[in-house]
Amino acid sequence: MINTQALIGGGSPGGPGVAGMADLALVEELNKALTSGYGTDAASFTGGRALQPESLENYLITTTFEFKNEFILWGMLKKSRTPSVVDMWNERSDHGGSRYGAAVGETSNPNNSVSTLARKTANVKYLRVHREISHVMTVVDSIPDAIAEEEESGTLSLLRTAEKLFYVGNSTIIPQEYDGLDTLVGANSSNVIDVYRDTDGDGGPLTKKLLANAGQIIRQVGYGRASALLHSTLDQIDLDMLQDTKERTIVPISKEGEGVIIGAPAAGINLISGVVKFHSNVFIEPGAAAPAAATPGSGVPITPTLVSAVADSTGSQFTGAFAAKNYYYKVTAVNAYGESAATSATNVATVASGEQVTVRVTTADATTTGFNVYRSKGGAASGADCRFMKSYAYGDGDDNLVDTNADLPGTTRAYMLNTLPQYRAIDWRQLLPLIKFPLAITAPAYPFLLMLYGYMRVTKPKQHVLFKNIVPTGHDFAPV
């Protein structure tokens, strides 16, 4: 035990002290004293560090999305049950007749007219997440309940997949997916607004005139009412700037003495069809950079071979600022299990005005169901920065992927929708609600599935508008 009296008075323990001095023996004894220290590897703790209990907050800190209100469209869609894996409904696209023929003479009969009817079908798709908790984890003192935490985490993972497929799902590229808005609304060109090229745009961001045009399409052409705009978080700054400079706004002030709160984020816009609310969505993402590594896990396709990228026949949108420039391309293979690493970049020397680019890709991997094409900005010095441009369906393993410049790399998309339930323009049809399905125990662990069976049904595609090729203000990538 250290002689504290000797330390105070100086000198060696038990002996006469000299003020302010300590002999060698006392210094050695001091060196043996326990110190608190730092370190996080419990097996390497020594001295006083080994005697300290670990300080671990009794809460699991989640560093990714963790709240169900992030799944915006999932929360908007009305849920209804389908009794079959093949869902059917009847569609009336026209009531028949016109302004002519109904106004007749006193004793005349009108011409016969009939409404236009069609039978529509869609297939239920199956979303599943597999989780497993070891038996040991259920008996040790863990911070949260292990099974409950994995159920929560798995549920969020499943809802993330469902939400992302609402936008980019494409059963032609990955047959196990249900079709999303890019496919269902994008199939009708009159309901697609090319933000970058539209004459009512500013060459990139969303504008008030473009939003008004979309509302007009939904009201006049589709006979619906726009109610929501779902967009990337990158687009919010441009939406905030839509407010007229001379428009009067109530400046929000908190409690007296706390000052003025700067900024009034735009929450919606009043259009011909009514108020359209803005919803920034973290799952609507700009075209990502080409992946250097494949998706983790088994079953992912191997990287294809990018044989060539050649500018050839005319009829494309490589015009104006996009013409007479070189472009770099990268390609990945995709299937239901994930995406391969990207190929090395291949350069197209110069694309003349109106020419298209044919990207030839080969693969011997029979599990491939589609390809993702990534492209650099026009006139890039290298292929280091290629962003997602478009997905293509797998053909026969020797495929020519044609780039007409209709879809620009690295851009975002937005969706103006009619989600009002009385219109029944879009909903979620489910064969099975989200449930937990325990699996057979074949090891000292508790395996289970979280399952959701259904699909997003768009019964009135003309009551929705897709904005594509958006380049938000301040975005870190420009297509040209």
Same domain as 74, residue 58: yes
pTM for this predicted structure: 0.85
Residue whose entry in the numeric block shows the structure tokens 């009002």: 420
461 to each of 78, 413, 425, 446, 472, how far by Cα in Å?
Answer: 16, 17, 7, 44, 26
Provide the domain count of the chain.
Answer: 2
> Looking at the domain assignment, is residue 125 inside a domain?
yes
Question: What is the dihedral sign for C-alpha 402, 408, 412, 418?
Answer: negative
Say if 315 falls within a structural domain: yes
Same structural domain for residues 67 and 137?
Answer: yes
Q: Are 342 and 221 within one domain?
A: no
Here the tokens at position 473 are 């203000």
Residue 62: phi and psi, rounded to 5, are -95, 125
CB 177, CB 169: distance < 8 Å: yes
In a domain, 18, yes or no: no
Going by their DSSP bridges, the two strands 125-134 and 445-458 should be labelled as antiparallel
pLDDT by residue for the chain (480 residues), tens only, comes to 545 444 444 444 444 444 445 565 655 655 556 555 666 665 666 665 555 555 545 444 554 556 667 899 999 999 999 999 999 999 988 888 888 888 999 999 998 888 899 999 999 999 999 999 999 988 887 667 888 888 888 999 999 999 999 999 999 999 999 999 999 999 999 999 999 999 887 778 999 999 999 999 999 999 999 999 999 999 999 999 887 665 666 666 666 666 777 777 899 999 988 899 999 999 999 999 999 999 999 999 999 999 999 999 888 999 999 999 999 999 999 999 999 999 999 999 899 999 999 999 999 999 999 999 999 999 999 999 999 999 999 999 999 999 999 999 999 999 999 999 999 999 999 999 999 999 999 999 999 999 999 999 999 999 999 999 999 998 999 999
Please tell me whether residues 367 and 426 are part of one structural domain. no
227 shares its domain with 330? no
439 shares its domain with 343:
no
Domain housing 341: 305-410
Q: Are residues 69 and 186 in the same domain?
A: yes
Any domain includes 143: yes
Choosing from 410, 425, 440, the residue where a domain stops is: 410
Of 373, 391, 410, at which residue does a domain stop? Answer: 410
- In-domain check, residue 361: yes
Sequence-separated (6 or more) residues with CB below 8 Å from residue 123: 85, 86, 87, 171, 178, 455
As a whole number of Å, the CA-based R_g of the chain is: 31
Same domain as 472, residue 351: no
- Select from 383, 410, 437 the last residue of a domain: 410
Looking at the fold, whether 75 and 133 belong to one and the same domain comes out as yes
Backbone φ, ψ for residue 153 (5° rounding): -65, -45
What residue spans of 72-180 are helical by DSSP H? 72-76, 135-139, 146-168
**Are 328 and 239 contained in the same domain?**
no
Looking at the structure, do residues 399 and 320 belong to the same domain, yes or no? yes
- Note whether residue 20 is domain-resident: no
The alpha carbon of 373 is separated from its chain's Cα centroid by a whole number of angstroms, namely 18
Same domain, 375 and 435: no
Q: How many Å apart are CA 454 and CA 475, to the nearest integer?
A: 35
Flag whether 149 is in a domain.
yes
CATH code, domain carrying 217 = 3.30.2400.10
CB 458 within 8 A of CB 112: no
Q: Is residue 453 part of a domain?
A: yes
- pLDDT score of 101: 85
